[in-house]
Amino acid sequence: MAPSRVHRLLFIVGRERRLLYDSLQRTFDGDDTVQVVLDRRVGERRQQGSTPRTERRQSERRAQRESDARLHVRGYALVDVTFESPPARIPAPA
C-alpha cells in the first residue's frame, strides 16, 4: 500500500500582528490540519562581515523569499505543507 499525502496549512504571523495571531489561534483551535505560529526570527542570521564568503547554495530559495515578502507586506504568510505519511503498520501475526 502506497503512503498517502498529508496536507497541512501553516500560518506564520509577524510579531507585530499579535491580535491576528490570537484570532487565528481561536479560529483554528482543535483543527489538526492548521498550525498558527509567530515568526520567531529577529534578524538576518548571516553576518555581514568585511570578508567575502563563498556562496555554497546553487540557487536562492524562491519559496522562502516569497513567504518573507508576504509576511512583510501582509503581516502573515500562509504555507501549504505536504508530506508523505508513512504506511500504516500491519500488526505481526500472533
Q: What confidence tens digit (pLDDT) does each residue in 40-69 have?
A: 877 655 555 555 566 555 555 555 677 788
pLDDT band at 37 (very low <50, low <70, confident <90, very high): very high
Q: Which residue has the higher pLDDT, 90 or 83?
A: 83
Listed in order, strand segments (DSSP E) in the chain are: 5-13, 34-38, 76-84
pLDDT at 81: 84
Percentage of the chain beyond pLDDT 90 is: 29
- Residue 91 scores a pLDDT above 70: no
pLDDT at 47: 55
Torsion of CA 68, 64, 77, 21, to 10 degrees: -80
Q: Which residue has the higher pLDDT, 45 or 13?
A: 13
Kindly give, in sequence order, each residue whose CB lies less than 8 Å from that of residue 88, ignoring residues fewer than 6 positions away.
Answer: 1
